[in-house]
Amino acid sequence: MFDAQMKFTGREYTTTFAWLAMAGIFIPAVTIVVSPGRLGVTLAGIGIIACVALAWIIWKKSSRLTIPSIAKSEGGSNG
């Protein structure tokens, strides 16, 4: 059923989502609870930028991978 030429795409998309979740949910929540002052907001901004940058790097790296297809290639047998 599955073509032997397929490649495993890995779990990089999960890592990308985790970094984005950290940037969008976790860092602002911790900042509000721990240090809502100017220093806290500045550190949160730096953390958000770092998380988004890491997510973007991982996304660019993993988006080059080929997503496998269940269908046989044109040159394959129909047997």
In this predicted structure, what is the pLDDT of residue 16?
Answer: 84
Q: Provide the token pair at 48.
A: 């958000």
6, HSE (Cβ side, Cα atoms, 13 Å): 14
pLDDT in tens, 33-61: 887 788 888 888 898 999 999 989 888 88
In this predicted structure, what is the pLDDT of residue 52?
Answer: 92
The span from the CA of 48 to the CA of 37, in Å, is 16
Q: Provide the token pair at 78.
A: 């129909």
Tell me the mean pLDDT in the region 9-31: 81
- The interaxial angle of helices 38-62 and 27-34, nearest 10 deg, is 170
- In total, the chain counts a number of residues equal to 79
The structure's pTM equals 0.61
Q: State the average pLDDT for the chain.
A: 75
The span from the CA of 45 to the CA of 39, in Å, is 10
- Contact assessment for residue 65 and residue 13, using Cβ atoms and an 8 Å cutoff: no
